[in-house]
């Protein structure tokens, strides 16, 4: 077969392959894992243009001065990475595109974000109706470190990041679900709790200790591993969710399924700051 | 040696791919050990890469359509620079470079302020973010300074790299070819080059974004001049299409200076490696123009660094918002 003809057909096959892949992603809903809903139409339209061009390259006349094309193997890269990307289980990957709105706010360029907006937030996606974080104010921490938890298998609630992650786990629970977390706090219980449940909490200091807010996280462990109230512990847990009932109705909250509970000394300064 | 002599063989595609592979190997060697969980990092990288690629696909196709359509419009040599700027095709295919404005300011501005580039900046950074306005204003300053410097060096009759190659090596599309065929051929070629540079360039940028150790990020944050220099070099080597570069640059927003982000977009649009390498095949006057172009680029990059790392950049950014 003529080499030029082979190349032409190969390029046409790539264009049609891209069209087919995008069509499959769009029809299966997989496209929404990678892009924002408003972009889907434009992407499918682009794929349509590629398909038409592919057909034209297959059956239509070609200008004799067509420039040489080679190195087609690179066009396989996206297919490989899309396949790997389908194993991704976090929030829509489009959340990581564009500018981190908190970064915009931090540098004084303005932001249209509302409240918390670290790098991992699902930008432009409405919050779940059941997201709730008690009465804790929603101010954003302005610590210099703003890691994206997508890169973390284990999320550590460090002192500086405690309030940020605490807020995030309520606001964007699905971002944490299935991940391991490590945090320190003191233990508390409520009379309504099941025997294997307790909470680990820190207090948020705004201006003085009198108005410090409680930042509790519900934990479930083996009955034998439930520590006594007031004890400071470090827990390792996997984030799950559960429904709890209160005066305001039933709501879904994060539940930390403890894999390890260690007693630790109380820190010298027990409070965390919002910024 | 005259211009009519056979140009030396130099395969741009192979050179660019070699650069990409070199960057990838360097990234693996330098940054690999910092990845504590390679499997998780690979999945995160893949998701982000696929997301970026799919998001930029409509712009890539639109730029290819634009460029192919412009090729059908008969522009006489006497056409004004303004008209050429308006109809600038954002060419990847060297044969289209003949349509590019010859005045350096027009040449630079036509890519930096191309409607598709501006749309890409607005989508990537947000219309209301302030950075879009920041981009327009500061790119005007940078382009003006670079153009003035260029002219001072006697670069008023610039023959850019693409047209040098068009003159020396490529056969122009025949006027006898039916318009539909010419359009299809040009669209295919444009899409081929654009997509290839996008596929490879985005992969490198996302890999850098995912694998860069925090210590290095802090270093760049603390040294804005170095971060500008690094992004200028990266953008020059990656040669990403102008409509894709803003999305890549947005990945580094907040971790590098404004100047670095802006420099990445500008260098990708104005003077990427792909605009210079083809002309390396040429000889004589065309080769001399390459030297002028390279010198012009170096000065433009210097102007970028000086202007964008001054405290006034942050002041102006705040003022613009």
User: Does residue A251 share a domain with residue A157?
Assistant: yes
Whether B97 contacts B88, CB under 8 Å: no
Beta bridge partner(s), residue A201: A186, A216
Angle between helices B179-211 and A3-28 (to 10 degrees): 60
Please work out, in degrees rounded to the nearest 5, the angle formed at the alpha carbon of residue A219 by the alpha carbons of A217 and A224.
150
From B149's Cα to the closest Cα of chain A, the distance in A is: 31
Contact A87 B43 (CB under 8 A): yes
CA distance B240 to B261: 14
Does this complex have an ipTM over 0.90?
Answer: no
From A69's Cα to the closest Cα of chain B, the distance in A is: 8
Does residue A97 lie in a domain region?
Answer: no
User: Does residue A266 share a domain with residue A155?
Assistant: yes
Does residue B18 lie in a domain region?
Answer: yes
Contact A85 B50 (CB under 8 A): yes
Residue B84 CA: distances (Å) to CA of B40, B92, B99:
48, 16, 7
Below-70 pLDDT ranges, chain A:
1, 61-70, 88-151, 191-192, 206-212, 223-225, 246-249, 274-275
Does residue B230 lie in a domain region?
Answer: yes
For chain B, what percent of residues have pLDDT higher than 70? Answer: 48
Does residue B244 lie in a domain region?
Answer: yes
Residue A146 with chain B: CB contacts under 8 Å: 254
Name the domain boundary from A85, A113, A134: A85
User: Does residue A266 share a domain with residue A133?
Assistant: yes
The backbone torsions φ and ψ at residue A198, rounded to the nearest 5 degrees and listed phi first, read -155, 175
User: Does residue A128 share a domain with residue A81?
Assistant: no
Q: Is B192 on the interface with A (CB under 8 A)?
A: yes
Residue A129 CA: distances (Å) to CA of A38, A170, A251, B13:
22, 11, 9, 52
Residue A39 with chain B: CB contacts under 8 Å: 54-55, 58
DSSP for A222-233, written as a single string: -GGGPPPTT-EE
Does residue B1 lie in a domain region?
Answer: no
Whether A69 contacts B189, CB under 8 Å: yes
User: Does residue A259 share a domain with residue A209?
Assistant: yes
Dihedral through CA B251, CA B255, CA B259, CA B260, nearest 10?
A: -60
Total of domains in chain B: 1
Q: Say which DSSP state B256 is in.
A: B
Contact A63 B181 (CB under 8 A): yes
Mean pLDDT, each 10-residue run in order, chain B (321 residues):
45 65 65 56 79 91 85 54 44 44 52 80 78 78 69 50 38 58 80 88 85 75 80 86 89 75 83 65 65 67 67 52 43
Does residue B182 lie in a domain region?
Answer: yes
**Residue of B103, B113, B120 lying closest to B141 (CA atoms):** B113
Spacing of C-alpha B16 from chain mean position: 13
The model's pLDDT over B110-136, given as tens digits with 9 standing for 90+, comes to 667 778 888 898 888 877 667 787 788
Q: Residues 65-104, chain A: which have Cβ within 8 Å of B?
A: 65-67, 69-71, 74-75, 77-78, 81-85, 87-88, 90, 92-94, 96-104
Does residue A219 lie in a domain region?
Answer: yes
Does residue A98 lie in a domain region?
Answer: no
pLDDT the model gives residue A131: 32
User: Does residue A38 share a domain with residue A163?
Assistant: no
pLDDT the model gives residue B64: 87
User: Does residue A146 share a domain with residue A59?
Assistant: no
Residue B62 with chain A: CB contacts under 8 Å: 46
CA distance A52 to B250: 32
Q: Looking at chain A, which residue has its C-alpha nearest residue B194?
A: A75
Range list of H helices, chain A: 3-28, 37-59, 77-85, 101-106, 162-171, 173-176
Q: Is A13 on the interface with B (CB under 8 A)?
A: no
Mutation pick from B31, B39, B57 vs chain A, by most beta carbons of A within 10 Å, is B57
Name the domain boundary from A30, A64, A85: A85
Does residue B17 lie in a domain region?
Answer: yes
Q: Say which DSSP state A213 is in.
A: E
Q: Rg for chain A (alpha carbons), in Å?
A: 25
Is residue A154 classed as helix, strand or coil in its secondary structure? strand
Does residue A118 lie in a domain region?
Answer: no
Domain that holds residue A169: 124-272
User: Does residue A133 share a domain with residue A75?
Assistant: no
For residue B297, give every residue at least 6 positions away whose Cβ sits within 8 Å of its Cβ, in sequence order, or none: B236, B271, B276
Shortest CB distance from A84 goes to which of B14, B42, B255?
B42
Whether A204 contacts A160, CB under 8 Å: no
Does residue A57 lie in a domain region?
Answer: yes
CA distance B303 to B305: 5
**Residue of B93, B54, B74, B58 lying closest to B188 (CA atoms):** B93
Contact B184 A100 (CB under 8 A): no
Spacing of C-alpha B250 from chain mean position: 15
User: Does residue A260 share a domain with residue A161?
Assistant: yes
Does residue B3 lie in a domain region?
Answer: no
Does residue A231 lie in a domain region?
Answer: yes
Residue A122 with chain B: CB contacts under 8 Å: none
Contact A85 B253 (CB under 8 A): no
Does residue A105 lie in a domain region?
Answer: no
The model's pLDDT over B219-267, given as tens digits with 9 standing for 90+, comes to 877 777 788 888 888 888 888 888 899 999 888 876 677 778 888 888 8
Name the domain boundary from A85, A112, A135: A85
User: Does residue A77 share a domain with residue A167?
Assistant: no
CA distance B231 to B264: 5
Maximum distance among all alpha carbons in chain A?
84
Q: How many residues does chain B have?
A: 321
Contact B44 A150 (CB under 8 A): yes
Does residue B153 lie in a domain region?
Answer: yes
From A190's Cα to the closest Cα of chain B, the distance in A is: 37
pTM value is: 0.62
Domain that holds residue B72: 12-320
CA distance B75 to B210: 45
Q: Is A29 on the interface with B (CB under 8 A)?
A: no
Q: Is B252 on the interface with A (CB under 8 A)?
A: no
User: Does residue A135 share a domain with residue A73?
Assistant: no
User: Does residue A133 share a domain with residue A81?
Assistant: no
Does residue A216 lie in a domain region?
Answer: yes
Total of domains in chain A: 2
Contact B188 A53 (CB under 8 A): yes
Q: Say which DSSP state A270 is in.
A: -
Q: What is the CATH number of the domain that holds A188?
A: 2.40.50.140
Q: Residues 233-262, chain A: which have Cβ within 8 Å of B?
A: none
């Amino acid at each position: 077969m003529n080499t030029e003809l082979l190349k032409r057909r190969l390029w046409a096959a790539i264009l049609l392959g891209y069209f087919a892949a995008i069509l499959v992603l769009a029809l299966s809903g997989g496209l929404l894992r990678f892009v924002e809903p408003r972009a889907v139409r434009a992407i499918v339209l682009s794929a349509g243009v590629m398909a038409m061009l592919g057909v034209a390259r297959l059956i239509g006349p070609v200008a004799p001065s067509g420039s040489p094309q080679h190195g087609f193997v690179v066009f396989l890269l996206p297919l490989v990475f899309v396949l790997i990307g389908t194993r991704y289980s976090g929030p829509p990957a489009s959340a990581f595109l564009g500018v981190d709105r908190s970064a915009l706010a931090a540098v004084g360029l303005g932001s249209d974000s509302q409240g918390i907006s670290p790098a991992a937030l699902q930008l432009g996606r409405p919050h779940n109706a059941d997201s709730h974080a008690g009465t804790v104010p929603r101010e954003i921490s302005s610590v210099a470190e703003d890691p994206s938890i997508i890169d973390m298998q284990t999320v550590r609630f460090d002192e500086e990041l405690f309030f940020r992650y605490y807020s995030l786990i309520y606001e964007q629970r699905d971002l944490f679900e299935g991940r391991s977390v490590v945090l320190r706090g003191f233990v508390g219980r409520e009379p309504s709790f099941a025997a294997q449940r307790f909470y680990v909490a820190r207090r948020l200091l705004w201006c003085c200790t009198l108005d410090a807010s409680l930042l509790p996280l519900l934990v479930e462990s083996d009955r034998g591993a439930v520590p006594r109230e007031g004890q400071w512990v470090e827990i390792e847990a996997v984030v799950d969710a559960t429904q709890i009932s209160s005066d305001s109705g039933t709501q879904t909250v994060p539940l930390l399924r403890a894999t390890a509970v260690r007693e630790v000394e109380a820190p010298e300064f027990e409070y965390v700051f919002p910024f | 040696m005259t211009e009519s002599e056979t140009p030396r063989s130099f395969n741009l595609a192979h050179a660019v791919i070699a650069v990409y592979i070199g960057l990838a190997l360097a990234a693996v060697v330098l940054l690999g050990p910092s990845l504590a969980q390679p499997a998780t990092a690979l999945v995160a990288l893949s998701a982000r890469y696929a997301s970026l690629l799919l998001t930029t696909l409509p712009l890539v196709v639109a730029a290819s359509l634009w460029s192919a359509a412009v090729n059908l419009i008969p522009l006489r040599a006497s056409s004004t620079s303004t008209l050429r700027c308006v109809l600038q095709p954002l060419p990847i295919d060297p044969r289209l470079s003949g349509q590019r404005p010859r005045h350096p300011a027009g040449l630079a501005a036509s890519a930096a302020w191309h409607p598709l580039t501006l749309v890409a900046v607005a989508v990537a950074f947000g219309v209301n973010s302030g950075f879009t306005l920041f981009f327009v204003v500061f790119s005007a300053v940078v382009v003006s300074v670079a153009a003035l410097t260029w002219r001072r060096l006697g670069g008023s009759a610039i023959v850019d790299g693409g047209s040098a190659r068009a003159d020396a090596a490529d056969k122009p599309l025949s006027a006898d070819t039916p318009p539909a065929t010419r359009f299809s051929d040009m669209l295919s070629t444009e899409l081929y080059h654009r997509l290839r540079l996008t596929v490879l360039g985005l992969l490198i940028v996302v890999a850098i974004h995912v694998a860069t150790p925090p210590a290095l990020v802090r270093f760049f944050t603390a040294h804005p001049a170095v971060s500008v220099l690094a992004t200028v070099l990266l953008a020059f080597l990656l040669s990403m299409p102008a409509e894709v570069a803003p999305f890549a640059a947005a990945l580094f927003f907040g971790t590098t200076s404004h100047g670095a982000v802006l420099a990445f977009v500008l260098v990708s649009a104005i003077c990427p490696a792909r605009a210079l390498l083809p002309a390396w095949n040429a000889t004589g006057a065309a080769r001399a123009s390459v030297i002028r172009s390279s010198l012009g680029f170096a000065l433009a990059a210097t102007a970028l660094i000086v202007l964008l790392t001054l405290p006034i950049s942050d002041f102006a950014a705040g003022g613009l918002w």
